[in-house]
Amino acid sequence: MHFNLRTHVLCAVCVLLFFGPSVRSQDRSLFARAETDTTLETPVSSPILTSLLPKYFDPQEGLLVRELIDLALKTNEDLSAWRLEIDRAKARLQQARLRPNPTLEFEQQSGRLVGDGGDGQISIGASLPIEVLGRRKSRIDVAQIGIEASEAEVRNRERLLVANILTNYAEALAALRELDATEKLLELDLQTTRFVQIRVNEGESAPLELSLLRAEVERLRSRRQLAEGRLESSITQLKLLSGIPFENSLKLREQLTSAVMPSLPQTRDSAVEIALRTRPDLRLAQIEEQVATAGLRLVRAQSKPDVTLYTKYTFGRSNYDAPVPFSQRDRDLAFGVSVGLPIFNKNQGAKAEAEIAIKQAGQRREFAERVVRGEVIAAYQRYEAASRAVSTLENAAIPTSTQNVETFRRVYELGEIKITELIAEQRRLLDAIRDLTEALTQRYKAQVDLNIALGGNGFLPEPK
Domain ranges of the chain: 1-42
Q: Determine which of 19-23, 64-68, 432-436, 455-459 has the lowest per-residue pLDDT on average.
A: 19-23
Sheet holding 326-339, edge to edge: 103-110, 120-130, 307-320, 326-339
Q: What mean pLDDT do residues 8-19 have?
A: 35
Between these two residues, 141 and 5, which has the higher pLDDT value? 141
In this structure, are residues 398 and 433 in contact, taking their beta carbons and an 8 Å threshold? yes
pLDDT category of residue 149 using cuts at 50, 70 and 90:
very high
Q: Determine which of 5-19, 222-236, 377-391 has the lowest per-residue pLDDT on average.
A: 5-19
Using a 10 angstrom Cβ sphere, with 0-12 exposed, 13-18 middle and 19 or more buried, the burial of residue 41 is exposed
- Between CA 80 and CA 190 the distance in angstroms is 51
What is the pLDDT at residue 112? 67
In this structure, are residues 263 and 222 in contact, taking their beta carbons and an 8 Å threshold? no
- Between CA 212 and CA 215 the distance in angstroms is 5
Q: Is 335 helix (H, G, I), strand (E, B) or coil?
A: strand
Q: Is 323 helix (H, G, I), strand (E, B) or coil?
A: coil
From the list 443, 438, 435, 444, the residue with the least C-alpha distance to 396 is 435
Mean pLDDT score across all residues of the chain: 84
- Between CA 189 and CA 449 the distance in angstroms is 38
**What does 280-317 look like in DSSP terms, one character per residue?**
HHHHHHHHHHHHHHHHHHHHHHHTSPPEEEEEEEEEEE
pLDDT tens string 62-102: 999 999 999 999 999 999 999 999 999 999 999 999 999 99
**What does 390-447 look like in DSSP terms, one character per residue?**
HHHIIIIIHHHHHHHHHHHHHHHHTTSS-HHHHHHHHHHHHHHHHHHHHHHHHHHHHH
pLDDT tens string 170-200: 999 999 999 998 898 888 888 888 888 888 8
Is the entire prediction scored with pTM above 0.85? Answer: no
Q: Are strands 326-339 and 307-320 parallel, antiparallel or unpaired?
A: antiparallel
